[in-house]
Amino acid sequence: MIAIIDYDAGNLTSVARALTHLGYKNQITSDTETILAADRVIFPGVGAAKATMQTLQKRGLNHVLTDFYRTGKPMLGICIGIQILFEHSEEEDAECLGLLTGQVKKYPTDTKTLKVPQIGWNEVYQTRTHAIFHGVPNPAHFYFVNSYYPEPKKEDIVIGKTQYGLEFCSAIAQDNLIATQFHLEKSGRVGLKMLNNFLKIAS
Catalytically active residues, by annotation: 79, 183, 185
For residue 153, what is the DSSP state?
S
* pTM score of the predicted model: 0.95
Closest C-alpha among 186, 181, 188, 187 to residue 164: 181
**pLDDT band, residue 111 (cuts 50/70/90):** low
Question: Which CATH number is 2-200 given?
Answer: 3.40.50.880
Query: 64-102: per-residue pLDDT in tens?
Result: 999 999 999 999 999 999 999 999 999 999 999 999 999
Separation CA 143–CA 108 (nearest Å): 20
Query: 11-22: per-residue pLDDT in tens?
Result: 899 999 999 999
Sheet holding 102-106, edge to edge: 94-95, 88-89, 102-106, 148-152
Query: 34-59: per-residue pLDDT in tens?
Result: 999 999 999 998 889 999 999 999 99
Query: 114-156: per-residue pLDDT in tens?
Result: 888 999 999 999 999 999 999 999 999 999 999 999 999 999 9
- What mean pLDDT do residues 157-184 have? 97
**pLDDT band, residue 176 (cuts 50/70/90):** very high
